[in-house]
Amino acid sequence: MSDQIFIRELLLRTIIGVNEEERNVRQDVLIDVTLDVDTRAAGESDAVTDTVSYSALADGITALVEGSRFGLIEKLAAEIAALCLEYPLVEAAQVEVQKPDALRFARSAGVRIVRTRAGERERSLRA
């Protein structure tokens, strides 16, 4: 698939981290999401119902992140990817989560994951 919908540099605040001091203060996280979506129908119809509303997606990600208290950014990224795959038109989701200033002398540290609808189906069949 070559069509993609993306959100870049969504800056949110959440409780994230495994150290005691991280469990008490909200920290910034920077989120990038890229979705593989066939946009041909939306390109022809000009109807938001034929695509994934990035506004609705951003609202969903914001609610998830701001309401979460995960220890690891890997878990946060996985939950964001799962949320993205709830949209029927999304075939794959690439999610990058960064913690700015997490490491001394580094602008940020983070994780990038890719989850696919096919991979999630295979995983649920094995469970």
In SS3 terms, the chain reads as CCCEEEEEEEEEEECCCCCHHHHCCCEEEEEEEEEEECCHHHHHHCCHHHCCCHHHHHHHHHHHHHCCCCCCHHHHHHHHHHHHHCCCCEEEEEEEEEEECCCCCCCEEEEEEEEEHHHHHHHHHHC
pLDDT at 92 > cutoff 90: yes
- Domain range for 74 is 4-126
Out of 85, 99, 102, 110, the active site residue is 99
What percent of the chain has a predicted confidence (pLDDT) above 70?
94
pLDDT at 12 > cutoff 70: yes
pLDDT at 121 > cutoff 90: no
pLDDT at 125 > cutoff 80: no
Question: Is 99 a residue of the active site?
Answer: yes
pLDDT at 88 > cutoff 80: yes
What percent of the chain has a predicted confidence (pLDDT) above 90?
81
pLDDT digits (tens, 9 = 90+) for 95-109: 999 999 888 888 889
pLDDT at 72 > cutoff 90: yes
Q: What is the pLDDT of residue 113?
A: 98
What is the domain count for the chain? 1
Q: pLDDT band at 32, cuts 50/70/90?
A: very high
Whichever domain contains 64, its CATH number is: 3.30.1130.10
Q: What is the pLDDT of residue 68?
A: 95
